[in-house]
Amino acid sequence: MFTGLIQTLGKLTRVDSNHLKIVCDGPGSDRLLADMELGDSIAVDGVCLTVETALNNGFIATASPETLAKSTLGNVVENGWVNLESSLRVGSKIGGHFVTGHVDGFGRLASAVSDATSWELRFAVPSPQVARYIVPKGSIAVNGISLTVADCSASGDWFTVAVIPVTYQETNLQYLQPQQAVNLEGDVLGKYAEKFLNLGPTHRTTEPDIALDFLAEHGYV
C-alpha cells in the first residue's frame, strides 16, 4: 500500500525479458535507499514491485507478464525517469490517498499548459475499464502520483488535473511528451463501492433490501 507521494526519481533499464533494474539517483534517493531491504515493496511509476536484489544505488525486481502488459513497464524507455515511493508504514502520515500499486491501465497525455500557479495536464483514457473509475474531484494515481481530478467527461474518457510546481518539478510529469502513455490507478474505495452496488441477486444476503419508507422512518429521507 502506498500514498501517491513520490519520494524520489530513478532510472530504469531492462536486465532481461522480465527483470528490471532501477537506479535511484534523484534528489532524496539516499533516504529511500537507507530504508530499503530485500522483500520490500517499491512503487515504480505506480507499479508495486518487490526488491529481489538490493544494490548500492538501487535494486532489481521481477515484473510479471500481467504487469508488463498492463503498465508502461512493458515498454521500457532505457534510462528513462520513473517515480519511486516505498510502501506505507503503519503510523505514517497519509498525505495523498490509498494507492495499491495495481495499475488499472493506460492513459495518454493530451496536453500540458502552465500558468502562474500550476500546470494543467489533460489525459485521454482509451479503456472504458479504466475510465469508469474517474469522477470529478475524485482521486487518481498517475504514474503513482496522487492527484485530484479537476474535470472529466461523463464517461471518464478524458480528465484534467492541476499540478502544483513542486509536484511537477520533482516527478517525471515534467518529462512527459504528447501522446506518451502513463499508468493509471483508480481509487480503490470506488472499486469496492462499485462491487457492492452491482452485486446480483445470487450474491445478495437473505436480508431484505432497504426501502425508501424504511429510510424515511429513520430520518434519512
Q: Which of 55-69, 119-133, 165-179, 182-196 has the lowest mean pLDDT?
A: 182-196
Q: How far apart are CA 41 and CA 49, in angstroms?
A: 6
Residue 119 has pLDDT above 90, yes or no: yes
CA 6 from centre of chain: 11
Flag whether pLDDT at 201 surpasses 70. no
The per-residue pLDDT for 209 is: 60
- For residue 197, the model assigns a pLDDT of 81
| pLDDT value of residue 100 | 94
- Specify the pLDDT at position 207: 53
Segments of the chain assigned to CATH 2.40.30.20: 8-86, 105-197
Q: How confident is the model at residue 190 (pLDDT cuts 50, 70, 90)?
A: confident
Q: What does pLDDT average to over the chain? A: 89
| CATH code of the domain occupying 105-197 | 2.40.30.20
CATH says 8-86 is which class? mainly beta
Global pTM reads: 0.86
Per-residue pLDDT for 73 more than 60?
yes
Q: Using CA atoms, how far apart are residues 83 and 85, in angstroms rounded to an integer?
A: 7
pLDDT digits (tens, 9 = 90+) for 35-64: 999 999 999 999 999 999 999 999 999 999
Residues 118, 105 contacting (CB under 8 angstroms): no
